[in-house]
């Protein structure tokens, strides 16, 4: 029997518990933008992985008012961001319990030494939630590890002059005078860090695309949206051809009134600052990057943060694929450009295990993309894109590892690719880029 752990992932310490998983989160939030005041109830269906007598949840900065286990008041302690809940009786592996947490307060981002701040953040007039990699506990109690994926119901009540966007499909909007309740359902499994709420004074624009797609943005940016997102529908069509069917019911792009340093990835939606609504390559590539994460990062999620290249390398390579398809430099030209740049930088990064200090280093993104391009050059386009579609299909809604990716590629290719993967993933020196087949 276990009584919880001090953390499930060495890259994001003191978060997550591997002794149990969560099947479903039901989140009911009431939020006042003015004053940044949250009152909430989170109901979690937890399932024991081994025999347990308590569950450890992650919840930072907020005040716990009451905890119920199967509708019965439960004993708990809440210290240093960990909410320890004693179950009514031991749960054997496979058994479930319902844990409901009533809590309130003024949410703020979670700060970590290696990664800075992440989570619930106030905008000038609204809210943005950027959870990667440790920000989910800033607004709801969770088992904060990327490998613990669950379905979600999200009900958010706030002022009626605001638009609320969250994960999944909007199923109802119920006005109550000065407030409105927005309800979203995310049935496909989702890691906690990908859960989000976006609140602002926005307009909603529906696009004509193969997948139901919305652009949600301030009215003042209405005439600029086409610069950045005018080819969003084409991107979706192309990525479906290359990666397989889009994995969720729809896709939303939120543009905040405020400027943002970088765009933000969430399941079924992406968020961009007003400063990123531009038509130049440095802005448009990010549109492709965030869209591709719906396949690589959201549907297929790294089991641990060590394997983040399986998100970022694939998303960066998707930028190069869009560049080639949209009339810009080819993927080969992009690869040569970035290989040259990386060759002049420090050779001290292991792509398959960059460590917490370097997990968001740009070299992880670019070297990951170069590894994929080297693979494409080695096995040829037909085999490469057949492999990508197969990988996305076989691992759909699951968690993935580097070892699993290498093993999958081996089932699709006759060539001996061990030297290629050894050089790109497990050695620090930058390998030569092979010539295209």
Residues annotated as catalytic are: 290, 365
Residue 433's beta-bridge partner residues?
Answer: none
Was 319 annotated as part of a binding site? no
Angle between helix 232-243 and 381-394 (nearest 10) = 90
Best CA proximity match to 262, nearest among 115, 111, 130, 110: 130
Was 60 annotated as part of a binding site? no
Was 61 annotated as part of a binding site? no
Which residues carry a binding-site annotation for Zn(2+)?
289, 293, 312
Which residues carry a binding-site annotation?
289, 293, 312
């Amino acid at each position: 029997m276990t009584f919880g752990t001090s953390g499930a992932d060495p890259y994001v310490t003191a978060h997550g518990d591997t002794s149990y998983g969560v099947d479903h989160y039901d989140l009911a939030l009431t939020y006042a933008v003015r004053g940044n005041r949250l009152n909430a109830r989170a109901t979690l269906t937890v399932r024991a992985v081994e025999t347990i007598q308590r569950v450890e949840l992650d919840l930072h900065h907020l005040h716990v008012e009451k905890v119920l286990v199967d509708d019965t008041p439960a004993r708990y302690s809440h210290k240093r961001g960990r909410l320890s809940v004693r179950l009514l009786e031991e749960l054997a592996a496979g058994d479930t319990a319902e844990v409901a947490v009533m809590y309130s307060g003024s949410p703020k981002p979670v700060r970590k030494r290696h990664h800075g701040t992440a989570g619930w953040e106030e905008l000038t007039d609204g809210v943005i939630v950027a959870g990667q990699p440790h920000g989910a506990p800033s607004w709801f109690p969770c088992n904060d590890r990327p490998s613990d994926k669950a379905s979600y119901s999200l009900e958010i009540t706030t002022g009626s002059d605001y638009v609320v966007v969250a994960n999944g499909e909007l199923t109802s909007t119920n006005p109550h005078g000065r407030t409105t309740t927005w309800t979203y359902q995310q049935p496909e499994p989702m890691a906690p860090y990908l859960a989000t709420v976006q609140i602002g004074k926005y307009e909603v624009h529906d696009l004509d695309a193969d997948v139901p797609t919305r652009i949600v943005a301030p009215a003042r940016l209405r005439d600029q949206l086409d610069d950045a997102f005018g080819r969003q529908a084409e991107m979706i069509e192309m990525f479906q051809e290359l990666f397989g069917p889009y994995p969720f019911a729809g896709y939303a792009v939120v543009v905040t009134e405020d400027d943002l340093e970088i765009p933000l990835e969430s399941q079924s939606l992406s968020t961009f600052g007003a400063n990123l609504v531009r038509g130049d390559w440095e802005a448009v590539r990010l549109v492709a990057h965030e869209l591709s994460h719906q396949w690589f990062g959201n549907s297929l999620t790294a089991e641990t943060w060590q394997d983040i290249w399986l998100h970022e390398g694939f998303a960066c390579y998707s930028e190069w694929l869009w560049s080639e398809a949209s009339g810009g430099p080819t993927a080969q030209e992009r690869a040569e450009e970035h290989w040259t740049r990386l060759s002049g930088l420090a050779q001290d990064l292991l792509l398959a295990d960059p460590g917490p200090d370097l997990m968001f280093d740009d070299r992880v993104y670019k070297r990951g993309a170069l590894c994929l391009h080297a693979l494409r050059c080695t096995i040829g386009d037909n085999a490469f894109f057949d492999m990508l579609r197969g990988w996305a299909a076989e691992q759909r809604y699951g968690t993935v590892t580097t070892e699993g990716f290498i093993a999958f590629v081996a089932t699709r290719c006759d060539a001996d690719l061990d030297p290629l993967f050894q050089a790109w993933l497990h050695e620090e020196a930058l390998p030569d880029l092979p010539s295209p087949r």
